[in-house]
Chain A
Amino acid sequence: MKRFKNIVLVCFVVAIAAIYALPAQSASAASSAALSIVPKKNYTIEAGKSINDKLVVRNLDGKTPLQLTLRVVDFTFTDDGGTPKLMLAEDAPQTTWSLKPFMTVPKTVTIKPNSSKSLDMSVSIPKGHGAGSYYSAIVYSSGAPDGGNVGLSASGVTLVFTSIPGKVDENLKLEQFGAYDLNAKKPGYVFVATSKPEAIAYTLKNNGNVTESPAGSITLKDMFGREQVIGNVNPSKSLALINQKRTFTACIKLKSEQVEFEGGSTKSTACADPDLWPGFYTASLDVFYGQNGNKTQEIVSTAYFFYLPWWFIIILVIVLMVIVYFVWRVVRAVKQRKRTSRTSRRR
């Protein structure tokens, strides 16, 4: 009996030890957290029609399968840039531009190591639905691990934008326009730039019911009348979301190169040295916006800025000091001559 008790005790201890050891194993043997997804989808769907599309998801891990749960959430903007603010809370209120009710995506998916899967998705717009822009995001979440103090989980997001054609309310208001310092700790507009401004920016407030992607050009003129034209003021096709105050930046000089990305070539662009001389500059903005079949609207504005690098300011100060010194010398010499002539006359 005593022996039996010992066996039961040993079994119990082994079982407890196994329970404690298991989570670590299951966590390490859980899902992969290396994925490749489509970052953005754009559709134009008439009310009463629907589209069926594929979402290609790839498991980049060569050993572990990728287990994902999919859900659709709404999003808005974080600031005046293009980073989406996802409304992840389960009880988050539905936005007026939500595409959630019209979207269908699978709930879960498992993808073998080093392979990809095409997931069916659809967007159906009910008949009579109002024209405008609607958008939501698909979140792909890898499982959360058990064990440890800090667990890691990876999620990818596809932003889905749908435009329902028809008469829409379009209203962009220019908030700011001028030279923009991209390299500052906190990038922003500058009136007197001590480092060469590489970009011109404009901030538009979207008061309409559609996302807007303006197009147009900026003409930059120096104080001698020489012109540089920025032909594409929105090279990334950035969007101003509904109610967003969006800052669009355009490089004064753009350099682009073809780079290899995942077995194909892709064009990468960046701002190049704009070849600006110190001085006073005038920038003229002319941008257009308007959805297909709606009024084309135009925004024009002019902005001014100085480009005064420190070396130029120092030279300017030295030159001014030299001029002041010589003027002072001349004035002094004239005064002295007058004084001498007066004294000689008195004599």
Chain B
Amino acid sequence: MRHLLIRLHHILFAWRRIFSEELLAMVLVLLVFAAPVSAAMRFQERSLYMNSSAPGATTSYTISFRYMSPQVVGSVDMLFCNDPIPYHPCVKPAGLDVSGAELSQQSGETGFSIQSKSDNHIVLTRLQGMVTNNSSSYTFDNIVNPTDTSQAFSIRLRSHASTDVSGPQIDFGSVRGQVTSGVVIETQVPPMLIFCVAEKVSENCTGTNNNYYANMGQLNSNTTLTAQSQMAVGTNATGGFAITANGIPLSAGTSVIDGLKKPTKSAPGSNQFGINLVANNSPAIGNDPEGAWTNAVSSPDYSLPNQYKYVSGDVVAFSPNVSLVRKFTVSYIVNSREELRPGVYTTTITYIASGRF
């Protein structure tokens, strides 16, 4: 064993100068300079200006970018796809047509003409020349915009030394565009939000019992007063909806029964005002959300059986995306201390349904 250690020490001692700061520095320099030699660079300051962003409109596009590599460039490839990533399969944006495009203006690196074009592909060519003007822009007339407003589209750009986009690429990058104003398709229902509130509502909001208040009875320190209301909500908006409960808790003049700040069990004898949106057995009140569509849910803090909370402005139910109409039952509880100031305690809870952005 001792022999082995002595031999190891001899070997390491002989190599001790090799592991010096100089060697470390050389490795770092190699890492920094060796890597970019063969790597293509991204065009910088890329932008797309669409003269009209209306879906299906015939308009002009100005594509601008800065060449990054000081090399000879003979052609530029412009491929119009939904996805901007160069190595992903290209799906042509619906409705787009660049087959009639004409290069009407160019600045910076100039001398280009259109070599070939198809529905979603333009190849620019010129006599091979060194890049001297980095920032360049190219305007094409007679381009038909995509029609799909639901997603952005991209133009994948590549520069090549050859005049026919063959051989290795020099710089690359994508620009992004989007058509903005909507085309109403006959069979498609425009986005809408359906919402109703009452003591009792039908599942699709076509009817309510037209009662918009609840008498909870006489407050006393031994019993929990309860009430119930219902609301139904649905939307075909892709962003979904959110419902907030708004209003001050039960009050009589300056005397207020505060809302429960976090989910809490009902405790007769203390001042409590709270709501939840699920079935409870203490006290026996409420119902779980009704309806087959499960995208719409009550918020976690208001979904705990036998636990109640009320903070004005809280989201009590929401859906992250399209949701057919679903019905929620809201349970209200009120408890009071013995020494609560006498009076008629009232509140109005406003349920606000909004779309999401």
Could you tell me which A residues sit within 8 Å of B by CB distance?
Answer: 27-30, 32-40, 42, 44, 60-64, 78, 81-86, 88, 137, 139, 141, 144-159, 161, 163, 185-186, 211, 213, 215-217, 219, 229, 231-232, 235-239, 241, 259, 261-270, 286, 288-290, 292-296, 298
Q: How does the 8 Å CB contact mask read for B156-172 relative to A, with 1 for contact and 0 for none? A: 00000000000000000
Q: Is B95 an interface residue (CB 8 A)?
A: no
Give A145 to B46 CA distance when docked, in angstroms.
Answer: 57
Are B321 and A144 neighbours in the complex by a CB distance under 8 Å? no
Instruction: State the Cβ distance, B351 to closest chain A Cβ, in Å.
Output: 6
Q: Is B82 an interface residue (CB 8 A)?
A: yes
Contact for A262 among B189, B345, B357, CB less than 8 A: B189
User: 14 extra interchain contacts, Cβ-Cβ under 8 A, other than A157-B353, A268-B295?
Assistant: A33-B196, A36-B193, A60-B196, A151-B348, A152-B351, A153-B350, A155-B350, A215-B154, A232-B82, A235-B238, A237-B150, A237-B151, A265-B189, A292-B50
Contact for A62 among B174, B187, B207, B235, CB less than 8 A: B207
User: Which range holds the interface residue count of chain B?
Assistant: 35 or more
Are B189 and A263 neighbours in the complex by a CB distance under 8 Å? yes
Are B354 and A266 neighbours in the complex by a CB distance under 8 Å? no
Provided the pairs A154-B353, A263-B189 are in contact, do residues A34 and B242 lie with their beta carbons within 8 angstroms? no
Report, nearest first, the 4 A-B pairs whose CB atoms are least far apart. A39-B355, A148-B213, A264-B189, A34-B196
Q: How does the 8 Å CB contact mask read for B323-334 relative to A, with 1 for contact and 0 for none? A: 110000000101
Provided the pairs A40-B237, A44-B181, A269-B321 are in contact, do residues A288 and B192 lie with their beta carbons within 8 angstroms? no
Residue of A nearest to B225 (CB): A149
Q: Is B127 an interface residue (CB 8 A)?
A: no
25 inter-chain pairs at a CB distance below 8 angstroms, sorted by A residue, are A35-B196, A63-B207, A82-B320, A82-B357, A83-B318, A84-B357, A149-B216, A149-B225, A149-B250, A149-B345, A149-B346, A151-B348, A153-B348, A153-B349, A154-B196, A154-B353, A155-B350, A155-B353, A159-B354, A211-B357, A215-B178, A237-B238, A264-B189, A290-B176, A296-B174
Are B180 and A289 neighbours in the complex by a CB distance under 8 Å? no
List chain B residues, Cβ under 8 A from A237.
Answer: 150-151, 238-239
List chain A residues, Cβ under 8 A from B138.
Answer: none
Among B288-326, those with CB < 8 Å from A are 295, 300, 313, 315, 318, 320-324
Residue of B nearest to A256 (CB): B322
Give A139 to B193 CA distance when docked, in angstroms.
Answer: 13
Are B195 and A141 neighbours in the complex by a CB distance under 8 Å? no
Instruction: State the Cβ distance, B7 to closest chain A Cβ, in Å.
Output: 25
Are A294 and B354 neighbours in the complex by a CB distance under 8 Å? no
List chain A residues, Cβ under 8 A from B82.
Answer: 231-232
List chain A residues, Cβ under 8 A from B49.
Answer: 292-293
Are B324 and A215 neighbours in the complex by a CB distance under 8 Å? no
Are A36 and B47 neighbours in the complex by a CB distance under 8 Å? no
List chain B residues, Cβ under 8 A from A157.
Answer: 352-355
Q: Is B253 an interface residue (CB 8 A)?
A: no
Contact for A289 among B50, B91, B176, CB less than 8 A: B176
Are A39 and B88 neighbours in the complex by a CB distance under 8 Å? no
Instruction: State the Cβ distance, A260 to closest chain B Cβ, in Å.
Output: 8
Provided the pairs A149-B227, A236-B239, A237-B238 are in contact, do residues A154 and B195 lie with their beta carbons within 8 angstroms? yes
Binds A, one of B20-28, B31-39, B198-206, B277-285: B198-206
Q: Is B177 an interface residue (CB 8 A)?
A: yes
Instruction: State the Cβ distance, A87 to closest chain B Cβ, in Å.
Output: 10
Provided the pairs A154-B351, A186-B300 are in contact, do residues A37 and B53 lie with their beta carbons within 8 angstroms? no
Q: Is B130 an interface residue (CB 8 A)?
A: no
Residue of A nearest to B355 (CB): A39
Give A30 to B175 CA distance when docked, in angstroms.
Answer: 55
Instruction: State the Cβ distance, B204 to closest chain A Cβ, in Å.
Output: 8
Are B180 and A154 neighbours in the complex by a CB distance under 8 Å? no
Provided the pairs A270-B295, A286-B84 are in contact, do residues A151 and B357 lie with their beta carbons within 8 angstroms? no
List chain B residues, Cβ under 8 A from A152.
Answer: 197-199, 212-214, 229, 348-349, 351
Contact for A84 among B154, B196, B216, B354, CB less than 8 A: B354
Are A150 and B347 neighbours in the complex by a CB distance under 8 Å? yes
Residue of B nearest to A114 (CB): B206
List chain B residues, Cβ under 8 A from A159.
Answer: 354-355, 357
Q: How does the 8 Å CB contact mask read for B88-117 relative to A, with 1 for contact and 0 for none? A: 100100000000000000000000000000
Q: Is B255 an interface residue (CB 8 A)?
A: no
Q: Is B210 an interface residue (CB 8 A)?
A: yes
List chain A residues, Cβ under 8 A from B50.
Answer: 292-293
Instruction: State the Cβ distance, A57 to closest chain B Cβ, in Å.
Output: 10
Are A261 and B53 neighbours in the complex by a CB distance under 8 Å? no
Are B192 and A38 neighbours in the complex by a CB distance under 8 Å? yes
Contact for A296 among B176, B198, B295, B320, CB less than 8 A: B176
Q: Is B183 an interface residue (CB 8 A)?
A: no
Are A294 and B357 neighbours in the complex by a CB distance under 8 Å? no
Contact for B239 among A40, A88, A262, A265, CB less than 8 A: A40
Are A156 and B353 neighbours in the complex by a CB distance under 8 Å? yes
Give A36 to B198 CA distance when docked, in angstroms.
Answer: 15
Are B357 and A231 neighbours in the complex by a CB distance under 8 Å? no
Provided the pairs A144-B348, A144-B350, A292-B48 are in contact, do residues A37 and B356 lie with their beta carbons within 8 angstroms? no
Provided the pairs A149-B346, A152-B198 are in contact, do residues A215 and B205 lie with their beta carbons within 8 angstroms? no
Residue of B nearest to A75 (CB): B354
